[in-house]
Amino acid sequence: MASHRRPKQPSRARVTVLTTAAAAAVVLGGNAAHAAPAKPSKGEVKEKVDKLHEEAEQATEKYNGAKEKQKKLEKEIDALQDNVARGQEDLNELRDAIGMAAAAQYRSGTIDSSMQLFLSADPDDYLDKASTLDQLSNQQVESLAEIQDKQRELAQQRQEASTKLDDLAETREELGKKRKEVQAKLAEAQKLLNSLTAAERAEMAQEEAKAAQESASLAGGGGPAGSGFAASAFAAAQTKIGVPYSYGATGPNSFDCSGLTSWAYGEAGVHIPRTSQAQANAGTRLSMSQLKVGDLVIFYSDLHHVGLYAGNGQVLHAPRTGTNVRYESINNMPFQFGVRI
């Protein structure tokens, strides 16, 4: 027969020990789950901030490209709309002229059925009815053909303007997105910097000031210039050493990287494209050993950064947000190729 004895109950002391251990495990586990992540070091923050600034510059060059496209489209649309307005005036004059001729025929009682057809229908429709052409004078046929050509030209220009207006709307939307992307990257970088102590931020500021001082001590301009234009462009850029970086800026009081190079060559009397990617295709490509002072220097695989070769293994450029136009070693960034304008 099976035993029906009651199981032995744990002692009060043992229950107390187990309860205390369980409570301790819960507390420790809770603390582990809610423990604040380790505060990043100054070096880690700097690395993340530099990465964010690089991403912001990538977005900046796309922003610049959209902005240039917007300007181009606005000019093209203005020109098309002007052409359409002038074309409509020409068309009205042609219609008035043939209408006056028809009125004269009507008053004299000599208006023919073909002219009546013109006055009551579209010239395109009329000219398709070739059987009536022998009833018109040569001058009337030429006038109607000119009206037809002008109408077709205006229709084409209106369609082209409409297409470009749609493209402009999309470009403006893209421009807004890229602006927000740049601003978000910069805001994230600033948030990281704000997480540092005052002493750590002061150390980083001192490091940046030291880099600026080292830049000022560099001679720059070692060796011959790539061309007369390059020499003039480099001389112009040298006058902007110490001017702050600002995304989308083309000078004269602030610059982004391609804003500085396009401004400098503009001062030399040469127009080059606005963005670094477009500037990469603006002239003859060069290896590092072929570089001369004033040549463009393109960095990163996506070509999102550009500067001017300063000689002696240095580049003069607008680095990124929080810095000023300065000299820097060409080896501090992934060199792609040079461009001689």
Per-residue pLDDT of 216-261, as tens digits, reads: 566 555 678 888 899 999 999 999 999 999 999 999 999 999 999 9
Q: What residues pair up with 327 in beta bridges, in sequence order? A: 316
Q: What is the pLDDT of residue 17?
A: 43
Is 271 a known active-site residue?
A: no
| Residue corresponding to tokens 């020109």 | 79
Is 304 a known active-site residue?
A: no
- Which pLDDT band, with edges at 50, 70 and 90, does 284 fall under? very high
Cis peptide before 273 (omega within 30 of 0): no
Least confident of 81-90, 143-152, 180-189: 143-152
Q: What is the pLDDT of residue 133?
A: 46
Q: Of residues 34, 271, 304, 305, which has the active-site annotation? A: 305
Give 122-130's long-range contacts (Cβ < 8 A, gap of 24+).
Answer: 123/147, 123/148, 123/151, 124/148, 124/151, 124/152
Determine the average pLDDT of the residues in 173-185: 90
Least confident of 26-35, 152-161, 206-215: 26-35
Per-residue pLDDT of 80-123, as tens digits, reads: 899 889 888 877 877 777 666 556 555 555 555 555 555 555 55
Q: What is the pLDDT of residue 333?
A: 95
Query: Which tokens sit at 98?
Result: 């043939």
Share of the chain above pLDDT 70, in %: 72
Q: What is the pLDDT of residue 127?
A: 54
What domains does the chain contain, in order, with CATH numbers? 42-194 (no CATH), 219-340 (3.90.1720.10)
Q: What is the pLDDT of residue 96?
A: 76
Q: What angle (nearest 5°) sits at the alpha carbon of residue 318, between those of residues 312 and 321?
A: 140
Q: What residues pair up with 53 in beta bridges, in sequence order? A: none
Q: Of residues 53, 257, 271, 304, which has the active-site annotation? A: 257
Q: What is the pLDDT of residue 219?
A: 53
Is 53 a known active-site residue?
A: no
Rounded to the nearest integer, the mean pLDDT of the chain is: 80
| Residue corresponding to tokens 């702050």 | 244
